[in-house]
Structure 1
Amino acid sequence: MNDYDALRDYLKKQSVPELVLSFGEIEEIIGRALPRAAQRASWWDSLRSPQEKMPQREACLEAGYVATRMPDGQSVRFRRTKTK
């Protein structure tokens, strides 16, 4: 189990093709504070370095979503990659 399994499980339950969650909402879902690195867009970008395995990226991909940090620097867009 990794720290982002709860995020994966939350995303798997969603039926919308796209949603935006604030960092605060993500922290509530995972039950802990996000690391400072989460403020960097590259930390979330599921497609940027697919060979570089990172738990938050893997959780999103396993749920069928790709993540992109929003320009506000305080939220993340999750966009579905496959149909349920």
Structure 2
Amino acid sequence: MPDYDLLRDHLSKQTLDEFVLSMDEIEAILDDALPRASFRASWWETERAPDEKMAQREACIAAGYIATRLPDGTGVRFRKKTAKSVRKWV
């Protein structure tokens, strides 16, 4: 099972309010393969079920980011929770 603390640490070092990481980039950060479930939007989306504790979501939240899987499933958009401008991505 991947160590999502590595993702948290990576996200904590970021200075951009919003950016995208491909699934391959996330796997490189984790030095491990993501589970098949990671290709479902609900697996990443920190705002969808905030009461449901999942390690990957908790890592994003702890680093101050909201995660949303891209519609095509190729990556994840990370947006700082404190970002002033919020754009709706389709």
Structure-to-structure mapping, 1:36-75, within 5 angstroms: 36-75=36-75
Provide TM-score, normalisation by structure 1: 0.94
Following superposition, the deviation at residue 82 of structure 1 comes to: 2.7
Give the match for residue 4 of structure 1.
4
In the TM superposition, structure 1's runs of 4+ consecutive aligned residues that sit over 4 Å from their partners are: none
SS class of match (1:79): strand
RMSD between superposed Cα atoms in Å? 1.2
Following superposition, the deviation at residue 71 of structure 1 comes to: 1.0
- How big is each residue's C-alpha offset from its partner over 1:15-62, in whole Å with a ceiling of 9 and x where there is no partner? 000010000000000010000000000000001111110000000000
Give the match for residue 26 of structure 1.
26
| Whole-Å separation in 2 of the counterparts to 1:3 and 1:44 | 15
Q: Answer yes or no: is 1:79 the counterpart of 2:55.
A: no
| One-letter amino acid of the structure 1 residue matched with residue 19 of structure 2 | L
User: Structure 2: which 5+ runs fail to align?
Assistant: 84-90
Identity, % of aligned pairs? 61
**What is the aligned residue count?**
82
Following superposition, the deviation at residue 74 of structure 1 comes to: 1.2
Following superposition, the deviation at residue 3 of structure 1 comes to: 1.3
